[in-house]
Chains A and B, each alone.
Chain A
């Protein structure tokens, strides 16, 4: 308010001070978060980076750190019996699961966007994983699925088992595909549970994107006599493409930071053995890889996205 009471003749100074004031207000708005983030995010983050370069020992009452250079990193990569193996497994799993989740969720979103009876119910069911899949219940559920001691789960998984797919392929007269291909197909069939359960949010986002397609585009396509296939590739896909990037990044982050994946388990178990230095080094290597992957993907995909406003 003080800006108003100043002399109106000094127009330039007043403008400057208004700008400054606005920027001060900006700091005011984010101030609370800034304090919190320094205390609860940046300092711990820095500390964990520091631990990863140190020999950490636990004294009663405090942690003792002694600088050790890259020792932790070398020992984690070179000597730890599980870490590199788990790392490879997790990366490969994310590599083939992510595109599958994206394709699947886009497909389901297109289906759920159509008008039919019971659509609300179907949507409710498909979003159900959103509220369950982050919790401990899901850990137990997916444990059920994997453990063989559970008759229900076993029967369930045989429904989608390798044999069935193989039989189907033979029935269709497809013999000549390579082992790798049939491995992939059977992996998809076996993992349908995991894929369905981890694509709740993605379906939600794609559905939101689909409903943002202007009806004029749809009408134009209909007038021109576009088939459903053409409509999908020429209209739906370009409109949805920004969301593919968002969903892709979300899926990658989700699968990498999932507390159930084996690298995370290894890090946590190292922590429980009080090997803080090694655990921090593991976490930082992992985090570095994830960051690199996301940067590369965002850069590569960002070039192919169609933005309506541009």
Chain B
């Protein structure tokens, strides 16, 4: 009996389920096999938020699809509204008015700033810097008040960017309020640069992703830019009117968690530049094509197929839409950036690290489980 207890004490491997209903992990679970302090194997367990979006969209018309497309990823709803509206516009061959193009870019960049603020907040909380979490969610409320004034809802804008333009025009006081909110965001970025030494010690040199590995595993967006590749869909494969604005692309070479955190802050500064240039040049006029001003019960989509690529806050997104001439799409395929970041890249990075580094690696990849499961 004493021999049995002694042999059990020498066995040091065990399993740990870093689970789905836990405040430290979001809506996603990872099964870890641990030996002492080192993680030897990691296996992702998706499917907690699977709603079958691709087939749900085959039962509804384009204007009804625009209303539910902001639930594809809750943390950046206006960017997904934009990519769905672009796919339907190109299939129907519509040319949208000039004022609507500028409004679409302003709303998409505001949504990108709001998503990066959440990234900064939860990354600080995961590594122990609690003040950063409170600063981030306090300043995010100013942007949500702007959304409430313009679109009619704080988190879900209910298809504000719809096929043919946008659903409502800006109210008269919107332009001054946007400039005031951008000053407050500048103040927040200056506060973020006073760093905590504990955050630096936990994030530097941890979770290094080299350039060759990143290209083989399919990473895109800020994760690829932190490993040394200078690429951005807004400049390489331009869509909407991004070629009229002047902005830079931040790149870093190291590839660890600290480099990804710094790229998030630099991208917010570039988005503020784009919004200020767009507010100076916006013309007057209509905001939606006149044949789609009142929603209709059925509008025919000509047959054809199209593949649209966009840069959302988390990486490269894609929609492949096929239509056979009726009023509902025949097949919609959604490619989310988190499908590649959460399963191959996370399993590669977690192998060989210590248990105490798991939250720092996990939150630095900017994951959103709704985008992966769809």
A binds B: no
Spell out A's residues near B (CB within 8 Å): none
